C-alpha cells in the first residue's frame, strides 16, 4: 500500500455545471500534499468529494486500497479521514472542551479516550487557558486552532485542510505552519492542504498540485516546482 489516497478520473457537477473534470491525484502515505489554485476552480469541491459530502458524476476515490466512492461521510470519518472546512465551522455555542469531545463522536465509544483531548491541549496551549470558554467568543485564529484540534483529536490517518491561513493573524499562521511541518515529519497524519498562500504552502508541503477550471494543470515536488508558473495560476 503505497498511497494513502488515490483519486482517479473524478468528475463532479452541480446540476449541469461541471466543477471537476477528470481529476487524478495520488496522496502518499505520510507527509503533506498541497492543492493550489484561484478561488472557484474546484479545490473545495474536491475536498468535499473526498469526504463524501458530494457525489461524483464519475471516477473513483480509493482510501488505503479501499474503494470508498460510495461510502457515506460518517463511514469515511470512522475509517480515519478528518476535514477542517474553510471558515472553520466550529460549534459556536459549545465550549472549547465540548467542541473537542464532539470531535471524538466518529470514534467507537470503547476506543474513546480523554487522553486524546489532553494531547490537543498540549498541541494548542491557547485552548488550555480556559477550556470552558464558548467557541463563538474566540478570535479567528483561536477558532482555527480549535477546528484543527477537533479534527486531530481522533488521530486521523488523513487530514483534509481547506485554507487554514485565511483571515488568521501572522503569529497563529506561524504556529499552524510549525504544527503541519511536525505532523508531516513524524508521519502520524497524512495531510491534504488547500492553500493560496504560496510561501506557506511551499514551507510545509512535500508535493504540490495546481488546479485551474476543475482540472489539474501542474504538479511536482515542492522543492522543484516552478514558482513563477504557480504564481501565474494563482494571480487574480
Instruction: Write the pLDDT tens digit of every residue in 74-105.
Output: 999 999 999 999 877 899 999 999 999 988 87
- The whole-number pLDDT of residue 181 equals 87
Angle in degrees, CA 164, 167, 172, rounded to 5: 65
The mean pLDDT value for 98-120 works out to 78
pLDDT tier at 113 (50, 70, 90 boundaries)? low
Rounded to whole angstroms, how far apart are CA atoms 209 and 221? 9
Q: Would you state the cell numbers that stand for residue 92, as one nine-digit string?
A: 459556536
| 101 or 235, higher pLDDT | 101
Mean pLDDT of the chain: 90
- The whole-number pLDDT of residue 236 equals 62
Q: Is the pLDDT of residue 180 over 70?
A: yes
Query: Hey, what's the torsion of the CAs at 116, 52, 50, 186, to 10 degrees?
Result: 10
Rounded to whole angstroms, how far apart are CA atoms 32 and 159? 9
Angle in degrees, CA 209, 210, 214, rounded to 5: 115
Kindly list the domain boundaries of the chain, sorted by start residue. 3-80+156-234, 90-155
Weakest mean pLDDT among 138-142, 223-227, 232-236: 232-236
pLDDT tens track for 138-168: 988 899 999 999 999 988 999 999 999 888 8
Q: Is the pLDDT of residue 27 over 60?
A: yes
pLDDT tens track for 182-211: 888 887 799 999 998 899 999 999 999 999
- The whole-number pLDDT of residue 35 equals 96
Domain 3-80+156-234 has CATH 3.40.50.300: yes
- The whole-number pLDDT of residue 108 equals 60
| 222 or 184, higher pLDDT | 222
Rounded to whole angstroms, how far apart are CA atoms 191 and 210? 16
HSE-up of 41 (CA within 13 Å, CB side)?
Answer: 22
| 113 or 116, higher pLDDT | 116
pLDDT tier at 54 (50, 70, 90 boundaries)? very high
Query: Model-level pTM?
Result: 0.91
- The whole-number pLDDT of residue 7 equals 97
- The whole-number pLDDT of residue 154 equals 87
Amino acid at each position: 500500500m503505497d498511497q494513502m489516497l488515490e483519486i482517479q478520473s473524478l468528475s463532479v457537477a452541480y446540476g449541469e455545471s461541471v466543477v471537476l473534470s477528470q481529476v487524478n491525484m495520488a496522496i502518499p502515505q505520510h507527509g503533506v500534499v498541497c492543492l493550489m489554485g484561484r478561488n472557484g476552480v474546484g479545490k473545495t469541491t474536491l475536498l468535499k468529494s473526498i469526504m463524501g459530502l458530494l457525489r461524483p458524476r464519475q471516477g473513483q476515490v480509493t482510501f488505503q486500497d479501499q474503494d470508498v466512492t460510495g461510502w457515506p461521510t460518517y463511514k469515511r470519518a470512522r475509517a480515519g479521514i478528518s476535514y477542517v472546512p474553510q471558515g472553520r465551522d466550529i460549534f459556536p455555542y459549545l465550549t472549547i472542551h465540548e467542541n473537542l469531545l464532539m470531535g471524538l463522536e466518529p470514534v467507537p465509544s470503547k476506543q474513546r479516550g480523554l487522553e486524546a483531548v489532553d494531547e490537543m491541549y498540549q498541541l494548542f496551549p491557547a485552548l488550555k487557558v480556559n477550556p470552558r470558554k464558548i467557541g463563538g467568543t474566540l478570535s479567528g485564529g483561536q477558532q482555527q486552532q480549535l477546528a484543527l484540534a477537533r479534527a486531530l483529536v481522533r488521530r486521523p490517518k488523513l487530514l483534509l485542510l481547506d485554507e487554514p491561513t485565511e483571515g488568521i493573524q501572522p503569529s497563529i499562521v506561524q504556529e499552524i505552519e510549525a504544527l503541519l511541518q511536525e505532523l508531516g515529519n513524524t508521519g502520524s497524519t497524512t495531510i491534504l492542504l488547500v492553500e493560496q498562500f504560496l510561501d506557506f504552502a511551499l514551507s510545509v508541503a512535500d508535493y504540490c498540485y495546481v488546479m485551474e477550471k476543475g482540472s489539474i494543470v501542474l504538479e511536482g515536488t515542492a522543492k522543484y516546482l516552478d514558482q513563477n508558473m504557480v504564481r501565474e495560476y494563482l494571480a487574480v
